[in-house]
Amino acid sequence: MIITNKYQILIPVLVLVLSVSSAAKIGSIVMGPYKVTFDMEEDGLNWTVSTEEKCETIHGSPCAGYHALKKGRSKDLFITITQYNFIKGDRPEDHDLESMKEYIKLILYANHCTDTEVAIRTIDGYQGVVGAGWHTYDDCYIHKALWWMGDTRCEIFSTYPWNNGTSSLLDTIHIEKTKYNPLSEEIDTFARGPS
């Protein structure tokens, strides 16, 4: 094919750029010190993000939790990020893959799911676990994911269909920590000891 004018190149390139940009629906939410980005089918629902929730493990390690909820009539999406400052060998029971699998099975069972499946999967570059089960009361599948980024625990609970939301979310989610550290006061307190 011989190109006779610049528009023969410009028009196909412009069509390609427009089609790629319209296909990508990059979402972004800020949860405390974390920026969460993902590519997921847009449904017009808004996110509700909670304020920081201070917590503590049974061994006394401080933690801070952040929650985001996207709720619709027939589908929900819940993201939880919990940042820990572990002390003296304190480690959660679900820090290894086998324990994560058992935790996911337990959550699905507690939500009255049948036909459950659990699999190890890479999420945001980390090894994690994803489970799915049929929720007979709501007539939908429940999807639950769990992974650790160092001392930060990430969870997703979704009733979005696998092929129209949940799979895309798990394939594209990226959690990035900002410089803000909500546990710095507790870290300083532990370093100094109680007043």
Q: Residue 137 gets which letter from DSSP?
A: T
Instruction: Report how far residue 171's alpha carbon sits from residue 163's, in angstroms, rounded to the nearest whole number.
Output: 11
Angle (CA) 156-113-128 rounded to 5° is 35
**Tens of pLDDT along 19-41?**
333 344 668 899 999 999 998 76
The pTM assigned to this predicted structure is 0.77
**Tens of pLDDT along 76-113?**
899 999 999 888 777 776 678 999 999 999 999 999 99
State the maximum Cα–Cα separation within the chain, in Å, rounded to a whole number: 81
Between 6-10, 66-70, 127-131, the lowest mean confidence (pLDDT) is in 6-10
Identify the burial level of 133 via C-beta atoms within 10 angstroms of its C-beta, where 0-12 means exposed, 13-18 middle and 19 or more buried: buried
Instruction: Report how far residue 9's alpha carbon sits from residue 135's, in angstroms, rounded to the nearest whole number.
Output: 52
Instruction: Report how far residue 78's alpha carbon sits from residue 102's, in angstroms, rounded to the nearest whole number.
Output: 20
**Tens of pLDDT along 123-133?**
999 999 999 99
CATH code at 27-192: 3.40.1000
Contact (Cβ atoms closer than 8 angstroms) between residue 131 and residue 117: yes
